[in-house]
Amino acid sequence: MVRTVAFYTSNPGKVEEVRTLLSPLGYRVVWRKGALLEPQVDTLEEVAVCKLADIPGKATFAMVEDSGIFIDSLGGFPGVYSAYVLRTVGLDGILRLVKGKPRDAEFRAVVAFRHEGKVKLFSGRVRGALSRSVRGTHGFGYDPIFLPHGSQRTTAEMEPEEKNAVSHRGKAVRQLAAWLRKQTPD
Ligand code: ITT
């Protein structure tokens, strides 16, 4: 029975969101803290598969997640480099980069899950736009500048459940949950 999922990530915000999604379904999410090897490759899928391969030991039910924000008018930048760009350019820097340009963007997430030696990938996307200023205190990363489609509020101005209902991660993790249920019928 898959009831405990070991989530390998350095990002506590991701853990909180995944717990909020999986706990009500009866899955325990254990945080395995640490930075995993992230290669310079073009897609979130490739990064996620590499991160999974970097997990120490042979934890049976192990998961990693790779995500990023893709800004249409910047050709999808920062995409797979989102974490690096956040650390270096920062939110205000990103807003300066899109000044005078269309602000449409999307978040994407790829969850990679290892189950009995097999690797499964689940992905999710959410379309939206960049806000004009940094707003809100919830969430993490780019949340203070991302307006999901149809919302006047950034994801940092939403409660965690509200963000999970529309987010890239919420979509990917709900697919994972549906797949887990099929592996372990009650
Ligand atoms: P890992 O250890 O899991 O790799 P990380 O934070 O480095 O954690 P990524 O390599 O997947 O994660 O980089 C994703 C970047 O995009 C990172 O800067 C996140 O803060 C940001 N990001 C991803 N999902 C987000 C979300 O739901 N809200 C805001 N920012 C997000």
Q: Beta strand pairing status for 118-130 and 146-148?
A: antiparallel
58 CA to centre of ligand 1 in angstroms: 24
> Would the pLDDT of 67 be above 70?
yes
**Sign of the dihedral defined by the CA atoms of residues 161, 162, 167, 172, in that order:** positive
> Would the pLDDT of 92 be above 80?
yes
User: For the domain with range 3-183, which CATH number is right: 3.90.950.10, 3.30.420.10, 3.30.420.130, 1.20.1440.230?
Assistant: 3.90.950.10
Instruction: Output 70 or 118, whichever has higher pLDDT.
Output: 70
Residue 61: the pLDDT is 85
Q: Which of 9, 10, 64, 142 to mutate to test the pocket of ligand 1 (most atoms within 8 A of CB)?
A: 142
> Would the pLDDT of 22 be above 80?
yes
Q: What is the pLDDT of residues 97-110, one digit of tens each?
A: 999 999 999 999 99
104 in catalytic set:
no
- Catalytic residue (one of 66, 72, 92, 186): 66
Kindly list the distances between the CA atom of residue 49 and the CA atoms of 37, 54, 65, 107, 111, in Å, as whole numbers in the listed order. 10, 9, 9, 19, 9
Q: What is the pLDDT of residues 136-166, one digit of tens each?
A: 999 999 999 999 999 999 999 999 999 999 9
Residue 140: the pLDDT is 98
Q: What does the pLDDT average to over 126-135?
A: 98
What does the longest C-alpha to C-alpha distance in the chain come to? Answer: 54
Q: For residue 87, give the ligand 1 atom closest to its CA.
A: 18
> Would the pLDDT of 129 be above 80?
yes
Residue ranges per domain, the chain? 3-183
Q: What does the pLDDT average to over 70-75?
A: 98
Q: For the chain, give the mean pLDDT.
A: 94
> Would the pLDDT of 125 be above 90?
yes
Ligand 1 in reach of 184 Cβ (< 6 A): no
Give yes or no for a cis peptide into 78 (omega within 30° of 0). yes
Least confident span in 8-12, 32-36, 96-100 = 32-36
List the beta bridge partners of residue 107.
Answer: 69, 126
Residue 184: the pLDDT is 66
> Would the pLDDT of 58 be above 70?
no
pTM for this prediction: 0.95
Q: What does the pLDDT average to over 42-69?
A: 89
**How confident is residue 34, by pLDDT bands cut at 50, 70 and 90?**
confident
